[in-house]
A and B are shown apart, each in its own frame.
Chain A
Amino acid sequence: MLKVEKSSPDLETEVIYNGKCAHCGTCGAFCHHIAYDDVGLPQLEFECQETIGLCYNSCPRTDLPLGKMDEMLFGQKRADMALGFYKDIISVKTKKADSVLLGLIEAAFSEKMIDAMVLPKDATKIKGKNNNIPVVVKAAKEAKKYIPERSLQLAGPLVTGIGEAWENGANKIGFLGNPCHLTGVSKVMLSPFSTGANYTTLKIGFMCASGGLSGCKFCVDFAAEHSDLSVGTMGAVKEETLVIIRNKPGQDLIDAAVKGGQIEIANKTPDLTKLKELTNRKKRKNIQTLLGTDMAKIHYLGLSLEELKYFMSE
């Protein structure tokens, strides 16, 4: 990604106090001078002198050229405008609400793909407001109580968990998050900054219609397009979970989980009509928000006219 000569003061002006923040935690994941308040909004301790700030450059609400990110992450641009780049889409049997995600995490630990996993922990009881904070688990059995069932259970500065895991010596970090989290992590990985994000070996995305925050109305990603694997029940038939496999680590994990009996494939060619409908609805609605609020903001997606026409068409 290109380096933009902007840092925390610009982040405050353009994102945090402009209602665009997704509360994802990317800006403070590798900076000790950004903390998060009770609702997960970043707070800058003081004005920073850096000209090129990791915080600004990694924020999912700043420069986000979708085509370029596809090329850098997956080696080619997306063929499917709605769901992003992918290799395969399958549906998996959902035995219990948490069985698919738990199965994948168990397989990732047993195959040694990860030595730590960042998951969400409900901080409502701790802080009294609807917010989730990251928790780093070192074994699959610890993960069970933190498996989310809805994207709202992932809203919060979870990316800071990657920084925490890295500082505590993990070098194969797994991460579960909403699309905004995955975009943030991917932007850090693609940035000219060498941080703990480069030790993220597994990115599982949770499909999300909205995280319930004001900044969510600027998000055009439903299917967690910058993950290794996207998982979601929205758009799937009853008792099944849709899994979008985007790259080799994603495929390896699915193969290992099927082989190990942690998950069971229900359909190798599931019907994607409902999923695409939901994805396009979110994209269309939020691109309209971007256009309606400020024409300039749409530029940050780097869409061509044809791509924009596609998203805006019914």
Chain B
Amino acid sequence: MSGYEKIVTFFNNMEENHPVSIKEIEDNTNLSWTYIKKVLFKIEDNYHLNFRKSGGTWIIWKEPGHLRRRIKDSCSQYLK
């Protein structure tokens, strides 16, 4: 698993409305703090994550329903 995938996986498994600091992600993924911050900046828009500096710490959190689940078996498969 690449570093990028590790961060995305961590983010997908995160609890909703539960902010975490970059340090926590660092501990979980064994990736460097700067790399994590760089990736979070990159995926901020696509993943609709909340990424803010609070005091001296960068924190991220996700809200309920922040991502619409992509349905593979929706009715568009039947569209002629």
Interface status of B38 (Cβ within 8 A of chain A)? no
List residues of A (18-36) whose CB comes within 8 Å of B's CBs.
Answer: 30-33
Choose among A49, A50, A192 the residue that contacts B80 (Cβ–Cβ < 8 A): A192
Cβ contact within 8 Å between B74 and A33: yes
Please, which residues of chain A bring their CB within 8 A of the CB of B75? 30-31, 50, 53-55, 193
Please, which residues of chain A bring their CB within 8 A of the CB of B78? 30, 54, 193-195
- A-contact bits for B56-80, CB 8 A (1 contact / 0 none): 0000000001001111011110111
Tell me, rounded to whole Å, the shortest Cβ–Cβ distance linking A181 to chain B. 19
Tell me, rounded to whole Å, the shortest Cβ–Cβ distance linking B33 to chain A. 34
Interface status of A314 (Cβ within 8 A of chain B)? no
Cβ contact within 8 Å between B71 and A49: yes
Please, which residues of chain B bring their CB within 8 A of the CB of A192? 79-80
Please, which residues of chain B bring their CB within 8 A of the CB of A48? 71, 74
Tell me, rounded to whole Å, the shortest Cβ–Cβ distance linking B20 to chain A. 24
List residues of B (10-39) whose CB comes within 8 Å of A's CBs.
Answer: none
Cβ contact within 8 Å between B69 and A50: no
Q: How many A-B residue pairs have CB under 8 A?
A: 37
Cβ contact within 8 Å between A193 and B74: no
* Residue total for B at the interface (Cβ-Cβ under 8 A): 12
Residue of B nearest to A198 (CB): B78
Cβ contact within 8 Å between A46 and B73: no
Please, which residues of chain B bring their CB within 8 A of the CB of A194? 78-80
Interface status of A47 (Cβ within 8 A of chain B)? yes
Interface status of A312 (Cβ within 8 A of chain B)? no
Could you tell me the distance between the alpha carbons of A31 and B72 in the complex, rounded to whole angstroms? 11
Interface status of A72 (Cβ within 8 A of chain B)? no
Please, which residues of chain B bring their CB within 8 A of the CB of A308? none
Cβ contact within 8 Å between B74 and A50: yes
Residue of B nearest to A58 (CB): B75
Most chain-A CB neighbours within 10 Å: which of B71, B74, B75? B75
Tell me, rounded to whole Å, the shortest Cβ–Cβ distance linking A48 to chain B. 6
Could you tell me the distance between the alpha carbons of A54 and B77 in the complex, rounded to whole angstroms? 10
Residue of B nearest to A46 (CB): B69
Interface status of A52 (Cβ within 8 A of chain B)? yes
Residue of B nearest to A27 (CB): B75
Could you tell me the distance between the alpha carbons of A46 and B80 in the complex, rounded to whole angstroms? 25
Tell me, rounded to whole Å, the shortest Cβ–Cβ distance linking A294 to chain B. 28
Tell me, rounded to whole Å, the shortest Cβ–Cβ distance linking B70 to chain A. 7
Q: Would you give 16 A-B contacts (Cβ < 8 Å), ordered by A?
A: A31-B74, A32-B73, A33-B71, A33-B74, A46-B65, A46-B69, A47-B68, A48-B71, A49-B74, A50-B75, A50-B76, A52-B79, A54-B78, A55-B75, A192-B79, A194-B80
Binding site for B on A (CB under 8 A): 30-33, 46-50, 52-55, 192-195
The 4 closest A-B pairs by CB, nearest first: A54-B75, A193-B78, A195-B78, A192-B80
Can you add 9 more A-B contacts, CB < 8 Å, to A32-B73, A49-B74? Answer: A31-B74, A33-B71, A47-B68, A49-B68, A50-B74, A50-B75, A54-B75, A192-B79, A193-B75
